[in-house]
Amino acid sequence: MKAMQLKEVKAVDEDPLELVEISEPDPGPGEVKIKVRTCGVCHTDLHTVEGDLDLPSLPLVPGHEVVGTVEKLGPETGRFEEGDRVGGPWLYSSCGKCKFCKRGMENLCEDPKFTGLHVDGGYEEFMIAKEDFVYPIPENFTDENAAPLLCAGVIGYRSFRLSDVKPGERLGLFGFGASAHIVIQIATALGCEVYVFTRSEEHRQLARELGSAWEGSAKDDPPEKIDSGITFAPAGWVAKEALRVLEKGGTLAINAIHMTPIPELDYELLYYEKNMRSVANVTRRDAREFLKIAEGIEIETEVEVFPLEDANRVLKLLKNSGINGAGVLKV
């Protein structure tokens, strides 16, 4: 089968992924074999191929926003049938035994495995997933439009929850890529006023179309302070700017698996009981809740679709903010 495989960590400008032929995998106990139809391209994939994340082993097939159909069931399965359309997200498995899993915080599991990092992901024709960690895809989404829901959507939803924003309050979104363009739809559906901070005029235009009340750059002053904020950019200085415009008692959620250092802060930026918290991975509960919400409010995902062989080019576009919405590989 075809796969875009990482054999050596390189900058995306050096085309780190190679188109290769590898053997089709076979599912073991509790696993399903998925015939991949589409796979979203995520900032985490960029951090993976460029070596910002510790890679357990190479070679590796990235990709963790996977939509496909169940091709084969392994032993000890029963939730799905062959032919069912499913989605495979970032969290491949959790141990279920550590103190965090027992508290319902499997996103902090002490022995997790992640799709496209510990195991081969969706930049290939067939992949293996744990049956308990895949989800049925709502019928009102195409394969292409469903792919960003599996990471950008789920982690965006968790960030939205952890920002503690309430209906009627102002939410600031810093960066406006795949995740933020989904979050704004959740926020506006709940009656929040959304301010979008981004340098890209194309992204500002998309934000206006999706209901933003104001658009500017991270260094601009919005019309009013924000009650809550979410940063999506992997740049530490953006978090400092977000704190600058955050209202007293507000919460800033940082949606990034890797980020440059946050500059030294004057205490005044944190005073008045402001909260700053990271968002680390997701749980199965997040995925189930978000997919139900996405179906109910009919979230629209803005996608640009590319063939699997163009994965290197898509990663370059992503790094340079050259994709409006989300990039999706069609397998």
The set of residues, in sequence order, having a beta carbon less than 8 Å from that of 264 and lying 6+ positions away, is none
Label each residue of 63-79 as H, E or C. Answer: CCCEEEEEEEECCCCCC
For the chain, the structural domain boundaries read 2-150+281-330, 154-278
* pLDDT (0 to 100) of residue 329: 98
* pLDDT (0 to 100) of residue 263: 94
Q: Which of 3.40.50.300, 3.40.50.1010, 3.30.930.10, 3.40.50.720 would CATH assign to domain 154-278?
A: 3.40.50.720
Check if the beta carbon of residue 63 is closer than 8 Å to that of residue 121. yes
* pLDDT (0 to 100) of residue 258: 84
Residue 234, preceding peptide bond in cis (omega within 30° of 0):
no
The torsion angles phi and psi of 46, rounded to 5 degrees, stand at -60, -45
Q: How do residues 103-160 score in pLDDT, each as one tens digit?
A: 999 999 999 999 999 999 999 999 999 999 999 999 999 999 999 999 999 999 999 9
Overall CATH class of domain 2-150+281-330: alpha beta
Query: Which residue in this structure is represented by tokens 């919460």?
Result: 251
Fold identical between 2-150+281-330 and 154-278? no
Tell me the pLDDT of the chain (331 aa) as tens digits: 999 999 999 999 999 999 999 999 999 999 999 999 999 999 899 999 999 999 999 999 999 999 999 999 999 999 999 999 999 999 999 999 999 999 999 999 999 999 999 999 999 999 999 999 999 999 999 999 999 999 999 999 999 999 999 999 999 999 998 899 999 999 999 999 999 999 999 999 999 999 999 999 999 999 999 999 999 988 999 999 999 999 999 999 999 888 899 999 999 999 999 999 999 999 999 999 999 999 999 899 989 999 999 999 999 999 998 998 899 999 9
The pTM score is 0.90
Task: Read off the tokens for 7.
Answer: 């054999």
